[in-house]
Structure 1
């Protein structure tokens, strides 16, 4: 995804956009994949999931100061509402997002 397309998607998105910064080789990222997908699915379309591979898009990782992965950010209309890195439990992730839905 080009930087321009990503910025456009962020600014035009009226819904919540959960961005998952990851890499295929990252063990913790692989551990979190089913957790993230299950939590996002539980919000029944109220939150859209966007996965960004930091290996393929290092400029986006740099732009959003992603220093370690997995790293997550929640956007609405181009603004970051919440961000957190590392492994989380399903309960914790759902609790973090609950306040924005």
Structure 2
């Protein structure tokens, strides 16, 4: 878990996306995240986490549905939501967090 702590302990927002390759909704999310990444640039970090190869982390964070998003800033979770979201929704949430 130390590595996870290092990933989220940044001053800028860190958006985690938990996904699985077999989930149709998760396939759509990959394209959405490309748009989000292009829009936010270096002001945030986006990390995709494969649920199947990170079972211990999934359990620790109690991820029950995919896709699930978690937004961290300075090591603290500030937002969490499951389901398909638009690029605009994610961009707005990241920008709100960055400006806090």
Return the TM-score normalized by structure 2: 0.87
Say whether 1:50 aligns with 2:47. yes
Residue of 4, 10, 20 corresponding to 1:6: 4
Residue of 27, 51, 69 corresponding to 2:24: 27
Offset at 1:74?
A: 0.7
The structure that is helix-richer by fraction is 2
Distance 1:14 1:90 in 2: 22
Which residue is equivalent to 1:82? 79
SS at match of 1:87: coil
SS at match of 2:34: helix
Q: Which runs of 5+ in 1 are unaligned?
A: none
Q: Which runs of 5+ in 2 are unaligned?
A: none
Number of residue pairs the alignment of both structures matches? 98
Runs of 4+ in 1 over 6 A off after TM superposition: none
Alignment RMSD, CA only? 1.4
